[in-house]
Structure 1
């Protein structure tokens, strides 16, 4: 039975090949702790689930859509300034905003493209 071919490392400019299902080569894996650490270990545990649910109940509409006079139900609590592992910034409610999934994905893709984490 044939094997699946190796795929390129997702680190920009890296030509190393990795096994299918992996994203980064051994050299670049330490730069992306979100790949190896669970969401709970990154701070998104039961407390975050509880707090974000309360925040969404208090702020039910997407902040980005409202700027464009659209009213869309928010489903994600986003950190306005990415916390990058800083617990003070992570739990600062003034740094939170409610977003719909498409707006959150767009913001994450454009603003958080090259993260640097401090755990």
Structure 2
């Protein structure tokens, strides 16, 4: 079964393991039990995707996004003014733009 174009489950796990070694696991980056609790509370208060709403669509949010990437800065990480609720497709598109999906260099958002 293919989960990502060109990669089977076995090799995708290997690639993700290599990425985690490079950037640290989710838990090492702060996405731990405290984050999961804060995320759930935020999504309960902000149930709709902010980007879809800007485009006139009503779509449930499933991801809490850091508007400005925190890059390990704990103050920015926990600042709720820097959070927005997004659906997974909007979050994935934003991440690809910022981080450079498919090997492209990313574009950093302007400071707010």
TM-score (norm 2): 0.71
Number of aligned positions between the proteins: 87
| Deviation of the 1:22 alpha carbon | 4.3
Local SS of the residue matching 1:97: strand
Answer whether contact 1:56 1:98 (CA < 8 A) is retained.
yes
Local SS of the residue matching 2:48: coil
Answer whether contact 1:82 1:112 (CA < 8 A) is retained.
no
| Separation in 2, partners of 1:66, 1:98 | 10
Q: Which runs of 4+ in 1 moved over 2 A?
A: 20-23, 112-115
| Deviation of the 1:103 alpha carbon | 0.2
* Bigger helix fraction: 2
The 5 Å alignment of 1:1-119 reads 21-22=14-15, 35-36=20-21, 37-113=24-100
- Could you report, residue by residue, the CA deviation over 1:28-70 in whole angstroms, capped at 9, with x for unpaired residues? x8xxxx5212211110000000001000000000000001100
| Separation in 2, partners of 1:38, 1:108 | 17
CA change 1:22–1:91 in 2 (3 A) is: same
Q: Which runs of 5+ in 1 are unaligned?
A: 1-19, 24-28
Name the larger-Rg structure.
Answer: 1
